[in-house]
Amino acid sequence: MPDIRIGQLTLYADHGENLLDTLLAAGQNVPWSCRGGYCHTCLIQARPGQAPDEASTMLSPEQREAGWLLSCQCPVQHDMDLRLHDPARDDLSAQVISVQQVNEVLILRIAPQRPLRFLPGQHLTLWINNQLGRPYSIASLPGEPWLEFHIRLRSSGRFSSAAADLAVGDRLFVGAPTGALHYDLEWQDRPLLLLAAGTGLAPLQAILRDALERGHHAPIELWHWSSSDCYLAERLEALAEQHSLLSFNFRSRLTMGEDIRQLRIASRRTMALICGDPGFVEQLRKPLFFAGLAGRQVLDEAFHSRSQ
């Protein structure tokens, strides 16, 4: 039976037991959100070599070298010496510079204490305090004087409710950027089809703007489905006036099924990027395949999160 040591505390786990479950059962207040390894809220630091590889494959090389792991992905196989994650100590501090609500979406801009290296389309964990963190896509571009996030406001959402109460000057913390979704320079002469539901628009509009800055010269078509008017319509329409390659379709979620059935691919060389909730992503995979796109031409990111 492996020992799990946290400072002066020793816990015991059955061999192969999930580390997050073990910690929660013992009363340890470890944050978690998706349990799928995507959100990175359940970070734990162990001595290098104590955790199996699958517990850290979704982390950066720097995080892995420092012994960080995702406790939701970690089967306990050996004795472990752990240190719980503390955003105020381990992550980057940032200050709120603006908060704006558009329809059901909160547009949050923050200024980190130092520049953050990331690729448009990646995501990171936003921490309001050491127990309340959620993953959000970065909606801004490197070089802009802020990090921007689009937060869907939910009546039962602990994080979105707390975020709605943020004011200019408030402090929060940001984790390390992660995620493989980003623009590839090899796509410059290939049409892009961007498909988003809700705040899945956040990473795709960042990728779109990054593509334009990098000299993309093939058509870019973006579809956005939402339960109300597109919260970024005015901003994107202004962008379309400057770039003839862009075309936008802002649609109601109620028409999505029919829209997908009528979706046409401009070219067999098209790259399709999908962002939204898991059901939305799954709904699009088969139609894109039947439209002639190979699996390697369809990249997606599903937003996995807790309901609370």
Residue 70 tokens read as 């995702």
Q: Give the tens place of pLDDT for each residue, 8-39.
A: 999 998 999 999 999 999 999 898 888 888 88
Q: Is the pLDDT of residue 173 over 60?
A: yes
Q: Would you state the pLDDT for residue 51? A: 86
Distance CA 181, CA 202 (A): 12
Please give the residue that has the higher pLDDT: either 65 or 224.
224
**Average of per-residue pLDDT values in the chain:** 93
The amino acid at 228: S
Please give the helix or strand (H or E) that residue 87 lies within, else none.
helix 87-90
Residue 201 Ramachandran class (φ > 0 left, ψ -120 to 50 alpha, else beta): alpha
Give percent helix, percent strand, percent coil of the chain, each to the nearest 5: 25, 30, 40
CB 168 within 8 A of CB 96: yes
Distance CA 229, CA 242 (A): 22
The amino acid at 4: I
| Cβ count within 10 A of residue 244 | 8
Q: Would you state the pLDDT for residue 101? A: 97
Distance CA 259, CA 263 (A): 6
pTM of the model: 0.91
Q: Is the pLDDT of residue 305 over 80?
A: no
Helix, coil or strand: residue 41: coil
Mean pLDDT, residues 144-172:
95
Q: Give the tens place of pLDDT for each residue, 76-113.
A: 998 999 999 999 999 999 999 999 999 999 999 999 99
Which domains are delineated in the chain?
3-85 (3.10.20.30), 88-174 (2.40.30.10), 185-302 (3.40.50.80)
Identify the CA nearest to 256 among candidates 190, 187, 197.
Answer: 197
The residue count of the chain comes to 308
Q: Would you state the pLDDT for residue 60? A: 84
Q: Would you state the pLDDT for residue 302? A: 86
Q: Would you state the pLDDT for residue 37? A: 84
| Cβ count within 10 A of residue 88 | 12
The torsion angles phi and psi of 71, rounded to 5 degrees, stand at -65, -25
pLDDT band at 62 (very low <50, low <70, confident <90, very high): confident
Q: Give the tens place of pLDDT for each residue, 209-266.
A: 999 999 999 999 999 999 999 999 999 999 999 999 999 999 999 999 999 988 888 8
CB 42 within 8 A of CB 70: yes
